[in-house]
Structures are given as C-alpha cells and as structure tokens.
Amino acid sequence: MILAKDFSFVSPEMLNGEKGEFVWTAPKGSETDGASIPRIFWTFGHPFEPPYRAAAVLHDYECRIKEKPWTSVHKMFYLACICAGAIEVQAKLMYWGVYNFGPRWGGYRLNDSSGMWSGYKNSSLPIPTPPETDMESVNFSIQKPPTTEEIKLIKEILEVQSIPVDEVPLLKP
C-alpha cells in the first residue's frame, strides 16, 4: 500500500515511556507491506486488517527510516493497536512478537547531550547497544522466529496472567 496522505498517531506515551503526547507520522507516499511484523504472527493479527492496519503502517515506516530506537518503535506499535481497538491480550502478543522477532537497528540519532536517546532512561527493559559501526541501515534480530506452538504458549500466559506491558517482551515460552 502507498499512503495517499500523511497519517499520524498521537501516543499517550513519550519515547522514554513517560506519560505525555508523542506524535508518530508516516508521510504521504510512504509504502507499507506489513513486513515489519514477522510473518508467522500474521495468523494471530494480520497487518492489513483492523485493528492492526494503522499500527502496521506507522511501524513499517519507522522500521524503514530507523530514526528512533527500535524499542520505542515497537512499543508505539502496541499503543497504536490498543488505540485502534485491539483486545489487550492480542496487542500484547503482537508486541511480544515485534519486540523479540521484529527488526532491530543501530545508528541511533541522538536527541540530547547525554549521548543517548532519552527513551532509554528509567526503562525496565534491557538497553540495546548499537553495533560498533556507523551503518544506519543495520537491521538485525537476536532470535530465530518462534514456532506457532511457542506463540500459542505466550498467548495462553497473557490470557491467564495480568502481565504489565513493559514486562511482555521478557516472556519466554
């Protein structure tokens, strides 16, 4: 798909996870194919169907331009799914998928004088270390894709336990 006009999502969370608005925008002309969501997850939530379509459009764009930390981009995907009406368990499952098996990149653009993205301060999740290269197009994932059975196990855990969203990426099948 190609966006016919700019598309934005006003997140209730800043890049650092604090409450406050942050606007994510995919500009007119951006192409999206849902590929930033690992394909094995498409049976659990297809990127071109509501309530995942809007989140997938923004996620694809951010995964292509790689200007913000991948951790923040993946969290935005979860928040946009919730905003679009996704059931919380499904949104958490998709977040688990993109966080653990979706694109990752280095070459972060810095936004403060500390030399870090402010989005990593006060985070309970592991801080990713950029590779020792200037390549902004680095795209890597740390794990092989999960099996359908492993995804079902994570879904079952999410259905029976009230797990805070910031702990979801740490779940193991």
39-89: pLDDT as tens digits: 677 676 766 777 888 898 999 999 999 999 999 999 999 999 999 999 999
1 domain residue, yes or no: no
Please count the structural domains in the chain: 1
164: in domain: yes
For residue 2, being part of any structural domain is answered with: no
Strands, E, within the chain: which ranges?
7-13, 19-26
| Structural domain boundaries enclosing 147 | 7-170
Asked, for residue 58, whether it belongs to a domain, the answer is yes
Place of tokens 């390549």: 135
153 inside domain: yes
pLDDT digits (tens, 9 = 90+) for 94-133: 999 999 988 998 755 444 444 444 443 334 444 444 433 3
Cβ count within 10 A of residue 41: 23
pLDDT in tens, 123-170: 444 444 443 333 334 444 456 788 889 989 999 999 999 999 999 999
With beta carbons less than 8 A apart as the criterion, state whether 126 and 104 touch.
no
* Residues 76 and 36: beta-carbon distance below 8 Å: no
Q: How many residues does the chain have?
A: 173
